[in-house]
Amino acid sequence: MISNISLVTVYVTDQTAAKNWYIETLGFVETADIQMGDNGFRWVAIAHPDHRELEVTLMLPGPPLDENLADAISRSLAGGSHGSLGLSTQDCRKAYAELTAKGVDFVQPPSERPYGVEAVFRDNSGNWLVLVEPKQFDPTAAAATDPGGAER
């Protein structure tokens, strides 16, 4: 049967610029950059250096997607409303400071959540990424807080 998730897709506006951003800014490594066929299709993939079993393909919104879906994804990237990855860190505040120094666009600074400390930032294509310093889940604490974060 299935042993693990090995591939996820992040839609980007420019594959070369995105690959470089993920490598230079976040420390990912290239796992593939292949021109496939005569139609210009390019397969670009990256991975975290410590977890190469999960590749992230950096895809342009286009074929094999239908035109309407590709257009919707392009609009959501342009509007900065397209979600992509959740990333774990040992120290969210330290990672926030390091990434901010590299010019990363944070839309939410580190904030306490029931599941840990979370910050939200954008990549160079407009995708938002969640950076989380996880903590042990406490179902009683989560039950005492409504979905908007207010105490009951």
Q: What is the pLDDT of residue 146?
A: 58
Alpha helices in 5-152 (DSSP H): 15-26, 67-78, 92-101, 139-143
| 3-state SS, residue 124 | coil
Q: Select the more confidently predicted residue: 121 or 84.
A: 121
Look at the chain and count its residues.
152
Buried b (16+ CB within 10 A) or exposed e, 132-145: bbeeeeeeeeeeee
Q: What is the pLDDT of residue 152?
A: 47
CA-wise closest residue to 46 among 78, 70, 69, 12 = 12
Beta-bridge mates of residue 48: 51
How high does pLDDT run on average in the chain? 91
Q: Select the more confidently predicted residue: 133 or 36.
A: 133
Say which residue the tokens 């889940």 belong to.
137
The band of 140, judged by pLDDT with boundaries at 50, 70 and 90, is confident
Res. 82: pLDDT tops 50: yes
